[in-house]
A and B are shown apart, each in its own frame.
Chain A
Amino acid sequence: MSAAPILYFFVTIAVTLLITAWAAQAGSSRESLYAASSRLSGMQNGLALAGDTMSAGTILGIVGLYLVAGVDVAYFSVPSMAGFCLLLIFIVKPLRQLGRYTLGDVVASRFVDPRLRIVLGVCVVTVSLIYLVAQLVGAGALISLVFGLKFNVAVTIVGVLMAVYVSFGGMLAASWVQIIKAVLLIAMVGLLAALALRMSGGLGDLYVKAAARLAAKPSVFAFGTLDLSLFSSVSLLVTGVLGTIGMPHVLIRFFTVPDAQTAKQSMVIATTLIGAVMIMIILVIGPATLAFDSDIQGFRDSTGAVVGGPNMVAMHLVRFLGGDVLFGTMSAVIFATILAVVAGLTVAISSATSHDLVAAIRARPLGEKAEVVVFRVVAAACSAVAVGLAIVFQNHNLSFLLVMASSVAGSTTFPLLVLAIYWPRLTAEGAIACGVVGLVVSVGLIVLGPACWVQVLGFVEPVFPSDHPVLVSTPLAFAAGWLVSRQQSRSTMTTSRSAV
Chain B
Amino acid sequence: MRIHRDPIHGRQYSGDVVMWQRLWRVAVALALLAQFAVLGEAPAWAAPAMLARFFGVPVSVWLVVLAYGGLVMLSWFCLRDSASASPRDQV
Q: Is residue B40 within 8 Å, beta carbon to beta carbon, of the partner chain?
A: yes
Q: Is residue B67 within 8 Å, beta carbon to beta carbon, of the partner chain?
A: yes
Chain B residues closer than 8 Å to A282, beta-carbon distance? 61, 64-65, 68
Contact B88 A94 (CB under 8 A): yes
| Interface majority SS (helix, strand, loop, mixed), chain A | helix
Give the A-B contact count at a CB cut-off of 8 A: 103
Contact A85 B71 (CB under 8 A): yes
Chain B, residues 50-91, CB within 8 Å of chain A (1/0): the string is 000001111011011101110110111011010111111100
Chain A residues closer than 8 Å to B75, beta-carbon distance? 84-85, 88, 267-268, 271-272
Nearest chain B residue, comparing its CB with the CB of A287: B61
Q: Is residue A74 within 8 Å, beta carbon to beta carbon, of the partner chain?
A: yes
Complex partner residue of A265 from B63, B79, B86, B87, CB under 8 angstroms: B79
Report the minimal beta-carbon distance from A473 to chain B, rounded to whole angstroms: 25
Chain A residues closer than 8 Å to B8, beta-carbon distance? 259-261
| Interface majority SS (helix, strand, loop, mixed), chain B | helix
In the bound complex, CA of A97 to CA of B8 (Å): 11
Q: Is residue A8 within 8 Å, beta carbon to beta carbon, of the partner chain?
A: no
Chain B, residues 1-33, CB within 8 Å of chain A (1/0): the string is 000000110000000000000000100000000
In the bound complex, CA of A81 to CA of B75 (Å): 10
Chain B residues closer than 8 Å to A85, beta-carbon distance? 71, 74-75, 78
Residue from B79, B81, B89 having most chain A Cβ neighbours under 10 A: B79
Q: How many residues of B contact A (CB 8 A)?
A: 32
In the bound complex, CA of A85 to CA of B25 (Å): 11
Chain B residues closer than 8 Å to A283, beta-carbon distance? 57, 61, 65
List which A12-36 residues lie within 8 A (CB) of chain B.
none
Contact B84 A90 (CB under 8 A): yes
Complex partner residue of A93 from B61, B65, B74, B85, CB under 8 angstroms: B85
Contact A88 B67 (CB under 8 A): no
Contact B84 A71 (CB under 8 A): no
Complex partner residue of A279 from B55, B60, B69, B87, CB under 8 angstroms: B69
Q: A81-B68, A93-B86 are in contact. List 10 more A-B contacts (CB 8 A).
A: A74-B64, A78-B64, A81-B67, A88-B75, A88-B84, A203-B57, A222-B40, A260-B7, A268-B75, A287-B61
Can you pick out 12 interface pairs between chain A and chain B where the beta carbons lie within 8 Å of each other?
Answer: A70-B60, A81-B67, A82-B71, A93-B89, A94-B88, A97-B88, A208-B56, A221-B58, A259-B8, A260-B8, A264-B78, A271-B72
